[in-house]
Structure 1
Amino acid sequence: MKTFHILLALFLVQTAFAAPLQPVAAKASSCMDNCPASKAIDGDTSDASRWISKKSDQPAWLEIDLGKTQKLAGVHVYSGYKQETPLESFTIQFWSDGKWQDIPSAKIENNKAVALAVAFDDTVDVTTDRLRLWITRTHQGIARVKEVVIWPAGADGVPAVRGEKKATATPQADIPLIYLNQSGFNLGKPKRFTAPTLPDGTKFTVRPAKGGDALFEGTLKNHIGDFSAFNPTDEQEYVVEAAGLRSVPFRIGSWWLERVTYQNAVNFMIDARHYVGNYRAPCKGSYGWRDDHHFGWELHTLVPQWLSNPSAYERMPRQIKYEKPRDPKLWGTLEPYADNAPDIVKLIHWGADVIVTQGLLHEHLKAQLAYFLYAWPWLKPYLPAQNYQIVRDYAFTHWSDPRADRNYPYDESPEHDLLALKTKIGTTKGAYPPGFSIEPNLLMYEVAKREKRPDAEQYFQAAYKQAAWMIANLDWNDPLTTKGQRMSEFLTVTGLAHFLRQYPDRAPVGLADKISDWAKVVIRRSANLWDFRKLDDGAKWTPMGEKPTMWNEPGNVLGLPAALLAAREVLTDPATNARLEQLVYSHFDNGFGRNPVGRHFSFDAPREIEGVEHGWFKFLPGGIGQLADARFVMDGSPKDAHYPYHPEKGDIGWTEGWVQFNVAFNISLAYLAFAETELSLRREGDEVVVRLRAPLNFDYHKVESGTVQVRIGKGDWQPLTVTEESPNSQFLTGRLKVAAGIALEASYGFGYLSRRATLK
């Protein structure tokens, strides 16, 4: 005990966390000789003091008496022997209302850590006088627990545990003080870094990581270095050096960001599926994806990804195989897809299938179906016609139904009629962003016209009235209308910009000015050393709240580029658009390490993303979504206290991956592809040359290809293969014979995210 108390005192001196609780007693399902339950609460985390159960094929349990009722934040669990044989699967339960209740965020599966921090989220209020470890899988049927440390609720939550391992996060002292995108930069795009400890006027250089002469020189201004003009064509790594500091090495290449993230983005959506992903047990409040609730926005984002850059997704390896439903009430109403369908199409099918099979009627879930229906012309090569018929009839039948089919956790919707005017502004939970119904109604308008429905205009009018209300009533200076919506903010601006871009002659008066005003606020609040859009014009950088879980915001940072890119499509001021482009990349860069702690938002980034050295501080084991073992999880982001520059704060605030964070990144990939796509046509003799520039050059040593849709005269659309002009070219070309005087039209991408060219 003396050793433990000395270590504890040292720990508390260095942190702001409250002291752990001291339980009064413990009992267990069984105990080996000299290894009683009391040794799991004696303050000794060594192998010399352990509770060890007798061998059994039945669950073991350890009950801990706190002596009085208290609100709890989480626990540290030390188990196993030396660095082996930890508890493999267990759930932490609390005594409430005369029975043991599971803590959903504390269900641990496939654990390999002998020291594990388990934080309790807000799903249940863990106020109790007793905890129990319900242990379902151990090495050789024997539970070995060295210590359970219990942390009371407080502003700082649960500290990291000494010795916790999935991998090892980089110590903060080892992270270089030049902060930039650790992986690399896109050729021809903004390339900026932050050096908070260096004064303005400091010279910096960019040189090969392996040594050599400086290839670019510049000067710091407002702690920012800009080497956007440096666009090398070779494939070596580079570093930034300034006043004795040296950055991590990085690459510069064609669509480097897309190259290292496209497959990863799809991998996450595959792994995070409910029932059929890499964790198969049911998860509370989950539908198509684990922990998605009703505001996962999956089809809101997967469909735009497909529309914006189809060739990139068509050429990916197929990982998903259709699984027959083990319960027909969960999925299976939609007939299976073709085996050769791209994984992103299979994911879109999955999302729609779960909604119609389970009869989900929340307005946000119904809205997802608009994306499926709109994209049908480009999904149908892979999906049975029955899919469209089922989804169409379901969506049109229930679109204006104000009733929900069940109680949805975190529901902020007053009713569920998607044609109704929405005048409420949701909370920072992100479950009710302004204007969420605009784009779904515009998509349903197009679907209804395609179906020749006499009521098509009502969908347009619903979107119009919503946009007009927002023009008149939203104040962008109020953080709750922008960054205060966290990961869901993108819906507000992409919806407004969609309206103006697709229906410029029918848009409400003042829409362009409203989008311009939003951009001005973003630019004003981004005038800082990180090029980072702050929460407000004062001292607030990120949203915070009264609970330890408030707020983690990777999704807002990674979803902002989508809104910025959507706005750029309809704004005309060159200076504004140039600054918005800088901010697009500065926010991607923030997620990749250009932030006050110098870490990528994903704990596993060093093992999953080419070129990343320093991942997030930790990951959340367990949790509602059980995402610890999913690929490409966005775990955490810097909190308000880290800004403007306080890396010494270390690992503070809530860390937990969430599908909502990843889909926000995904929608930014979609709008980035749209922004980067160019298509041109020119005649050469009796041929027409079709030239495409799009994010498809991911292998710099291979001639890659894509597919452009072409239409000669009034004929049908036909695919045309285009190939890179050289292995590391940004341009792909194809040729076809077209008689003089015959018009040709070409398109890359689909629907509202396509680029077109015509030649008469």
Structure 2
Amino acid sequence: MKNKILLFCLLTLSHCLPNIVSGQQAKVTSPPIVNQAGYNLDEAKRFVCYGAPNGTAFEVLPVGSPGKAPFKGKIVDFAGDFTAFNPEAVTGEFIIRVPGFGDSKPFWIADHLMEKLSSQLAYQFFIDVRGSEDPVYSDEQHVAGGGPSRDGGAYTLEAVYETLLYASNPALFDRWHEDFDDAAVPDLIKLILWHAEFAYQHRDYNGPTAHRPYDIGHPDQQLQRYDYQNTLDQLAAVCAAYHSFLKPYLDEAKYQRYRQACLQHWEAYERDRVVRYWVKSQKWIDVGWQEFNEMGNVFGQAVFRNLFMYLCEKNEADGQPEKFLAYAREAAQDIIQNWDFNNPRHMWWIRNGEHITPQALAFFLMVAPESAPYGIREKLAAWTEHMKAKTNNFWQYRKHSDTEWAHPKTKELGNTGLGGSMFAVAHLLDDPQLRALGWSQVNQVFGLNPAQAHYSNKSQERLDLNGYWAGIETGWPDAHPNGAGKLGLVRGTLDGTPLDNMFPYNPEPDKDEVISYYATEGWAVTNRAWMSSVVFSTLGSHQLRVLNKDGQEVNEVVTGDVVTIELKAALNQNWNAAEEGWVLIQSGQEAPQPIKVTETGPNTGIFTAKYTPDLPPKTVVRISYGYLGFEKVKEFTIK
């Protein structure tokens, strides 16, 4: 995989042409621009130095340690690649030095660095942005959009992506209990259950809300004030998770109430199908009824919700799994047939909803590959080629067209979910090129962009809340702390992105004509898009192995022999201590049981446990980590 990623990065650099003649000196130049936090070990790593001629040398240097550079390279089309540089267990920072252009900001290179810095903030945002602390009596008329999140409705789909977040790396989220101060229940689980109860209590709510720039309903219907239909999408995710990991925390009677709410209203609420022309927006960017809208109906929601119900119903004696699987297949076939990459209303114009479409198709292949309709892989492969073409520039930024990089008037924070889509699809198609492009989307969030700023404003208020990313020197230059979402005191908020007039590199655009990177305001649905990148990042990096005493992988084990269970996962939060996690072990038909794994040393990112089976021959032992399609599984047979 490492060699594939390195080859792709070199090929990309040789073919990505900027909007000026390749190799010529630009009138405006930049220092080396990097991901300010840093880069994951064994993943793609690159920087941009605008104006540097082809062949310009660069060095990667430890901060404060003069001497021989541990890595050197050449710039091609304003970009440098150092994917091959993977210093093990180093806690110090590095810089990029380009003679004549200066030094970059310092950055780390570390095991699962992005996940280390972002996983907790990803859900803490959704703790802080809740319109109330009570999911039942939530004071909707004083909450913009009605909630559960301020300036959002049920369409924010909090429970859907929180459920996937936990499923992707459960042992990590089991560590954190401080926000809700409940030693028995992890914070993320408490948050999922809070959103589930809100969804249940609002499953038919159509009362007043504070400001909202839209109405709900088809053109020939009486319009609604709240998108209560989307509460079932959230309940469906929780019902699926009940059978995977929520059973210890969710009372069965309450779960059955959630399930029955879905079963009773599913078809009446159009949850069985793709919903079109359902949101009447007053926003200038999407005024009126559009086919799909981020504020209520996104291409792909129907696949997710019906797959969740399928996973739920498979476990019920009176379940109807085939009905929901058929609905999911029909919705996926709709996407295969009608998803038009050249229609902006299906792509970047949906903004914060765009990430859902490819992720939904990917989820089908993750949880029910044998039942997926023909054409899903082919559609995702076509999307991959489209994205490779649109990111064929030195920023590896997804451009709108040959003449427009980004929107000229409004931020595009929905792009923060593009990395998640690329990670999911790259995993399924075994495409390291696409995975590398996914990391470029993450890099943009962390400052590798024309503004040279992280997309989140680094306010003192957020720092005081411990609600900001470590390692970021320059945050977004403005914020809108008292807007509809009241995000000033919300941890992990994203605020703005470069507009079109900042590209290809124009850090000081004409602010009188277009308020460029001050086009700023965070939004809950934006942070959901970003959460999806955290969710799907681990698909290509988690590994699970079973090793014999000689360190060789085994598929058969003699009863009584000692084997080593080895997990590589994004659990490395403390570089100065050996940490712990767990995996599930299942022998034959017995229920799975957790077994503790311990890091082999500080900052190794490898977690192991010794296991001695005492089982009859032919017993199959199953080791797993993760849920809902994110499982890493290793099986061996007793002989």
Quick one: distance in 1 between partners of 2:571 and 2:633?
Answer: 17
Q: How far is the alpha carbon of 1:561 from its aligned partner?
A: 1.4
In the alignment, which residue of structure 1 is the partner of 2:53? 199
In the alignment, which residue of structure 2 is the partner of 1:260? 117
| Residue from 79, 93, 97 that aligns with 1:241 | 97
Quick one: distance in 2 between partners of 1:395 and 1:273?
Answer: 23
Quick one: distance in 2 between partners of 1:354 and 1:370?
Answer: 13
**Does 2:506 match 1:646?**
yes
**Does 2:273 match 1:420?**
yes
Whether contact under 8 Å (1:558, 1:664) holds in the other structure is yes
In the alignment, which residue of structure 2 is the partner of 1:465? 330
**Does 2:600 match 1:735?**
no
Letter in 1 for 2:405: W
Quick one: distance in 1 between partners of 2:501 and 2:139?
Answer: 37
Quick one: distance in 1 between partners of 2:129 and 2:70?
Answer: 43
Quick one: distance in 2 between partners of 1:605 and 1:460?
Answer: 46
In the alignment, which residue of structure 1 is the partner of 2:495? 635
In the alignment, which residue of structure 1 is the partner of 2:241? 375
Whether contact under 8 Å (2:30, 2:51) holds in the other structure is no
In the alignment, which residue of structure 1 is the partner of 2:592? 717
Write out aligned runs for 1:289-688 (5 A): 289-320=149-180, 340-360=184-204, 362-377=228-243, 378-402=245-269, 417-422=270-275, 426=291, 429=294, 431-453=296-318, 455-536=320-401, 538-544=402-408, 551-554=410-413, 556-572=414-430, 577-604=431-458, 607=463, 608-649=468-509, 652=516, 654-684=519-549, 686-688=561-563
C-alpha distance after superposition, 1:418-449 (max 9, x if no partner): 11344556456554321221011011012122
In the alignment, which residue of structure 2 is the partner of 1:756? 633
Whether contact under 8 Å (2:424, 2:537) holds in the other structure is no
Quick one: distance in 1 between partners of 2:584 and 2:139?
Answer: 40
Report percent identity of matched pairs. 29
Quick one: distance in 1 between partners of 2:86 and 2:418?
Answer: 25
Quick one: distance in 2 between partners of 1:750 and 1:371?
Answer: 12
Q: How far is the alpha carbon of 1:373 from its aligned partner?
A: 0.5
In the alignment, which residue of structure 1 is the partner of 2:77? 222
C-alpha distance after superposition, 1:628-677 (max 9, x if no partner): 11111101111122122111126525211111111111121111123321
Q: How far is the alpha carbon of 1:339 from its aligned partner?
A: 5.4
Q: How far is the alpha carbon of 1:344 from its aligned partner?
A: 0.5
Quick one: distance in 1 between partners of 2:546 and 2:164?
Answer: 25
Quick one: distance in 1 between partners of 2:548 and 2:93?
Answer: 40
Q: How far is the alpha carbon of 1:224 from its aligned partner?
A: 0.5
Q: How far is the alpha carbon of 1:362 from its aligned partner?
A: 3.0
Whether contact under 8 Å (1:620, 1:628) holds in the other structure is yes
Quick one: distance in 1 between partners of 2:139 and 2:70?
Answer: 52
C-alpha distance after superposition, 1:211-261 (max 9, x if no partner): 412221111111111111111132211110113311011111111111111
Whether contact under 8 Å (1:205, 1:216) holds in the other structure is yes
C-alpha distance after superposition, 1:440-485 (max 9, x if no partner): 1011012122113353322111111111122122221223222222
Quick one: distance in 1 between partners of 2:295 and 2:500?
Answer: 18
Quick one: distance in 1 between partners of 2:503 and 2:294?
Answer: 21
Bigger helix fraction: 2
Quick one: distance in 2 between partners of 1:485 and 1:514?
Answer: 19
Question: Residue 605 and residue 513 in structure 1: after superposition, are their counterparts in 2 closer, same or farther (change >3 A)?
Answer: farther
Give RMSD over aligned pairs. Answer: 2.2
Q: Secondary structure at the match of 2:361?
A: helix
In the alignment, which residue of structure 2 is the partner of 1:64? none
C-alpha distance after superposition, 1:257-294 (max 9, x if no partner): 111112222321221111129x9993221321111223
Quick one: distance in 1 between partners of 2:546 and 2:315?
Answer: 29
Q: Secondary structure at the match of 1:726?
A: coil
| Residue from 116, 121, 143 that aligns with 1:283 | 143
Structure 2 unaligned regions, length at least 5: 1-28, 205-226, 278-289, 550-559
Question: Residue 426 and residue 655 in structure 1: after superposition, are their counterparts in 2 closer, same or farther (change >3 A)?
Answer: farther
Letter in 1 for 2:624: S
Q: Secondary structure at the match of 1:751?
A: coil
Whether contact under 8 Å (1:426, 1:434) holds in the other structure is no
Quick one: distance in 1 between partners of 2:107 and 2:420?
Answer: 24
Question: Residue 468 and residue 303 in structure 1: after superposition, are their counterparts in 2 closer, same or farther (change >3 A)?
Answer: same
| Residue from 546, 556, 568 that aligns with 1:693 | 568
Quick one: distance in 2 between partners of 1:455 and 1:380?
Answer: 20
Letter in 1 for 2:85: F
Q: Which has the higher contact order (CA 8 A, sep 6+)?
A: 2
Q: TM-score, length-normalised on structure 2?
A: 0.81
Whether contact under 8 Å (2:276, 2:292) holds in the other structure is no
| Residue from 683, 702, 718 that aligns with 2:577 | 702
Question: Residue 198 and residue 693 in structure 1: after superposition, are their counterparts in 2 closer, same or farther (change >3 A)?
Answer: same
Write out aligned runs for 1:78-93 (5 A): none
C-alpha distance after superposition, 1:55-93 (max 9, x if no partner): xxxxxxxxxxxxxxxxxxxxxxxxxxxxxxxxxxxxxxx
Question: Residue 620 and residue 681 in structure 1: after superposition, are their counterparts in 2 closer, same or farther (change >3 A)?
Answer: same
Bigger CA radius of gyration:
1
Q: Secondary structure at the match of 2:165?
A: helix
Whether contact under 8 Å (2:60, 2:95) holds in the other structure is yes
Quick one: distance in 1 between partners of 2:164 and 2:174?
Answer: 14
Q: Secondary structure at the match of 2:424?
A: helix
Q: Secondary structure at the match of 2:629?
A: helix
Letter in 1 for 2:403: A
In the alignment, which residue of structure 1 is the partner of 2:66? 212
**Does 2:117 match 1:273?**
no
Whether contact under 8 Å (1:682, 1:759) holds in the other structure is no
Letter in 2 for 1:713: G
Quick one: distance in 2 between partners of 1:523 and 1:710?
Answer: 40
Structure 1 unaligned regions, length at least 5: 1-174, 322-337, 403-416, 545-549
How many residues are paired up?
544
Q: How far is the alpha carbon of 1:176 from its aligned partner?
A: 6.4
Q: How far is the alpha carbon of 1:625 from its aligned partner?
A: 1.1
Whether contact under 8 Å (1:712, 1:738) holds in the other structure is no
Quick one: distance in 1 between partners of 2:139 and 2:574?
Answer: 34
Whether contact under 8 Å (2:292, 2:346) holds in the other structure is no
Q: How far is the alpha carbon of 1:680 from its aligned partner?
A: 1.3
Question: Residue 619 and residue 647 in structure 1: after superposition, are their counterparts in 2 closer, same or farther (change >3 A)?
Answer: same
Question: Residue 421 and residue 228 in structure 1: after superposition, are their counterparts in 2 closer, same or farther (change >3 A)?
Answer: closer
Quick one: distance in 2 between partners of 1:453 and 1:461?
Answer: 17
Whether contact under 8 Å (1:200, 1:221) holds in the other structure is yes
